[in-house]
Amino acid sequence: MGAEFPGIVRLRCSVKRYEWGKVGEESGVARLYANNSGEDIDGDEPFAEFWMGTHESGPSYAAVGANGQLRNGGVEREGGRKRNYLNLVSLKDWIEQNPSVLGDKVFQKWGPNLPFLFKVLSVAKALSIQAHPDKNLASILHKQQPEVYKDGNHKPEMALALTEFEALCSFVGLEEFKTVLQNVPEITEVVGDASANQVLHISKEDGEKKRKEVLQSLFTKLMSAGKAVISDVVVKLISRLNIKHEVRGLTEKENLVLRLEKQYPGDVGVIAAFLLNYVKLNSGEALSLGANEPHAYIHGECVECMATSDNVVRAGLTPKKLDVPTLCSMLTYKQGFPEILRGVPSNPYTVKYMPPFDEFEVDQCILPQGTSTVFPGIPGPSVFVVVKGRGAMQVAMASSEEIIAEGDVLFAPANYEITVKTTAGLSLYRAGINSRFFK
């Protein structure tokens, strides 16, 4: 099983500079990455995602001492920013060499790998309309197109808002769907009167299976329409909304559609947005997304956690590769507004968010000036990220403590009780295995 390593391990993490990310100092991801890595921020470059985990698309690295052993800390500070990691070894390799850090039950379930991927996102413009495949479909897609679908795992995920956070998620309810078709004639122009009338005349008495078949048929026709058709219809849609705006105030969804069109002119996702729920999260609220659920993040910053996967099937609002047939065939076509998670307090400073997935849960910990809290020892690993402030972290029975500040990411092995304290205020988040898994 390899030698056990007691204590906290600092991680050097990866960044993704996707074009939808916030630019320069406006990006919370940029600030975290700069403090974590010691690199300067390019003021003209977008910083989209800060990755913490073992996925090969954005691996984390652990600090190693001169003798090859992992060390607490392992960095030197210069002007408050960490500049020099002593040596680095990939977290994935180290866990494979020392699987006992995962705890027995986690190792037995998922093998020598961290089963969750932890991220921070800074979203300036909409991400693609997308869904993540279940395990069976992920395995098939990975075998067929390994260059596109990077692994064979599923990717349930949860987004926990750091700021006000906007998203599209799941299909609107049946009655709202009918209202959309009555008020947005451009959709009927694309899919045809027959498809629109099928939806308008369906009722709850027709049964869930029938309703899903009708919805899938209409959505597939819309998303599969030719680019020229969609481009012409989007021009009509935007013109109509602008004229309407001179007479009355637009709805939230109509204003959103105008924003999306400026970001992705002529894109089918501009029209498809009418069919999805528009969700606004306040800081501290979370959205849980299972396999095969359509969604698109629109704007804001969040902490995100998911099963260790990078599989995304896209169908709109993106310059990246689309796979419309796969997306339209895989969706659950569940309707209704998604549940908003507000977490359950563990103590006066910590709130726990437990989505219905074994691989992960997230704790939000906000410590006011001069306070401390304890994270009890748990039978699985944890990853901590400090998003604001400064403080100290200490493993029970350890003789020394780790000074922690914005941008620090730390790995804690299973079964270690950890105390966190601050004199000036501190905000951090912890990702770990879902507590339900151990019960």
Active site residues: 314
β pairing state of 276-281 and 350-353: unpaired
- Would you say 310 and 150 are in contact if contact means Cβ atoms under 8 Å apart? yes
> Cα–Cα distances in Å, from 433 out to 220, 303, 387?
36, 16, 21
Q: Distance between CA 65 and CA 88 in Å, rounded?
A: 9
> Cα–Cα distances in Å, from 254 out to 175, 282, 300, 332, 375?
18, 21, 19, 25, 45
Q: Is 295 annotated as a binding residue?
A: yes
Going by C-alpha positions, the residue among 226, 241, 246, 228 that lies closest to residue 185 is 241
> Cα–Cα distances in Å, from 417 out to 104, 314, 411?
17, 41, 13
Going by C-alpha positions, the residue among 321, 317, 327 that lies closest to residue 125 is 317
Dump the DSSP string for 185-214: HHHHHHH-HHHHHHHHT--GGG-HHHHHHH
Q: Is 55 annotated as a binding residue?
A: no
Contacts of 135 (CB under 8 A, 6+ apart): 152, 153, 154, 291
Q: Is 56 annotated as a binding residue?
A: no
Estimate to the nearest angstrom the gap between the alpha carbon of 80 and the chain centroid: 29
Binding site: what residues are annotated? 130, 132, 157, 295
Binding site for Zn(2+): what residues are annotated? 130, 132, 157, 295
